[in-house]
Structure 1
């Protein structure tokens, strides 16, 4: 699991993630049981990852958190990804500013702010030695329990749709739903992850109390139904994007196995993939196509509404 589970600049600006001091809260008769279960699942994930979580409040904690974020995201313009003072403000305004600790040392951090829908998860960072050890999942499960304790039923965030491991984590492991394709959402981003390229993003919604999320977290992975699926975009023998037909009800949209490495080894090819994915996936989603899953081998599954067809 990468430490980069969120976009590096998930500001709550525009559209469905406009900041609001009064998020819409979800409630229902099963709330106490749901919250208790979420707390138990989060605690188990934290134990498995060997970490404890705590909300951050002091300036010293904010300084540690900001430093950790910068080490992971590597901004190259000399400016911090998130100023220490802004972290303090988010914490003071009731946002999610949480650190993960291992042996008394901060090894992970996640920051979220209240939004119109509930909570918008802004950025996450995990130290190198613990990536892939379950800390990313533990952070999100802690965030889910934190939100449900406050009556918040929806968490949103964005991620780069070209990053396969994050797509798999968000859609297949957490059960979040791709809600919207955002073209060059933040403009050029000068950090060690985005390499100043276009910042296309997918906005996801995580329905914390939803049946799909519950089943996904219980089973460990959401496996999409691929019956009759046709490849509309995939890698050719030379690794370049190849377009296929778009007329089937179920379409598979492929991405590179490691887009971040490709940006370093072949920036031109990485740019081709960005354009191809944008042209296909954003068009399908804008015309009613629903992303219903992501496969382990790097394909989005998109389903058309039955009343529409694409050629």
Structure 2
């Protein structure tokens, strides 16, 4: 498809997905909308009152200067918000949040498809963002459902943060790139089986796994494919056993971060918690 057709198809898909999720998504412009969006993001992320995530004034500047500032409405009320700003690579999606009672309705997917359509309509073909690589559901959403590709492991990227979601943990992040001209994942396709790649397959090794006590156990890094395990629910683990959660943070940084620094490509993430890394393909002479 040429670029105008791609943008039109993306807009139609985004509108359909939002409608099926029971929400409307639109750009925000007015100052009172910015105040509402900031209050919503604070409810989701619960920052220290003296250290807000973003101010309404700055959010309005982003919107007025052409960045991506949208609200998600459900039943006439604001139920989500997202900010992305223009960057060297294209659009960088910085923060998003939805209230609890609309989660599980595919709203996050609807926002990403809206973001994709918005970018393509402006000739932007790449969106980047960061996420915590220990959060399994986000890894699956970003890599398996959307098809974004990790490009860099960022150790303790934000330093100490004082919101309730990130407090007490080092803020490692994966930077991912989403190339928008590729077709989005088929919404009608059946999900893959709830099992990871076969570690017994030829040239496949396990680089990080959970031991019998639940602690991270480093393995081999010499296969063509190296599998890297993360816990199923790191957020619960942070509450129940912070020391073990920190051990997983440092182990993942060493293994996954080390593999990526050595040039390995992260090619996927499975439903049952494995990053799949592979040697980059050599171009034929």
Q: State the Cα deviation string for residues 266-290 of structure 1 (Å, max 9, x = none).
A: 0000000000000001110011100
Matched, 1:283 2:255: no
Q: Report the Cα offset of residue 42 of structure 1.
A: 0.5
* SS of the residue 2:48 aligns to: coil
For 2:139, which of 162, 167, 172 is the aligned residue? 167
The RMSD of aligned alpha carbons is 1.8
Compared CA separation, residues 122 and 36, structure 1 to 2 (3 A): same
Query: Which of residues 86, 92, 110 is equivalent to 1:114?
Result: 86
Residue 219 of structure 1, CA deviation: 3.9
CA contact (8 A) 1:77 1:190 kept: no
Is 1:31–2:10 an aligned residue pair?
no
Structure 1 unaligned regions, length at least 5: 1-28
CA distance in 2, matches of 1:75, 1:174: 28
SS in 2 for 1:80: coil
Runs of 4+ in structure 1 off by over 4 angstroms are 215-218, 220-227
Contact 2:131/2:175 (8 A) holds in 1: yes
The residue correspondences of 1:215-234 to structure 2 (distance < 5 A) are: 215=185, 219=189, 227-228=201-202, 229-234=204-209
Q: 1:59 aligns with which of 31, 38, 41?
A: 31
The answer to whether the 8 Å contact 1:175/1:222 transfers is no
Mark the CA change 1:57 to 1:133 in structure 2 (over 3 Å): closer, same or farther: same
Q: Is the partner of 2:221 in helix, strand or coil?
A: coil
The two structures have a TM-score, normalised by structure 2, of 0.92
Determine the C-alpha separation between the residues in 1 that align with 2:89 and 2:177.
Answer: 9
Deviates more, 1:169-178 or 1:222-231: 222-231
Between the aligned partners of 2:142 and 2:13, the Cα distance in structure 1 is 17
Give 1:1-311 correspondences, 5 Å limit: 30-210=2-182, 213-215=183-185, 219=189, 227-228=201-202, 229-305=204-280
Residue pair 2:70, 2:81 contacting (<8 A) in 1 also: yes
| Residue 218 of structure 1, CA deviation | 6.6
Is the 1:172–1:221 contact (alpha carbons within 8 Å) kept by the matching residues of 2?
no
Q: What is the SS of the residue equivalent to 1:214?
A: coil
Summarize deviations over 1:86-114 as a string: whole Å, max 9, x none: 10110011000000101110101110000
Conserved 8 A contact 2:83-2:93? yes
- Whether the 8 Å CA contact 2:237–2:245 is kept in 1: the answer is yes
The answer to whether the 8 A contact 2:211-2:217 is kept is yes
Q: CA–CA distance in 2 between the matches of 1:306 and 1:52?
A: 42
CA 244–47 in structure 1, closer or farther in 2 if over 3 Å, else same: same
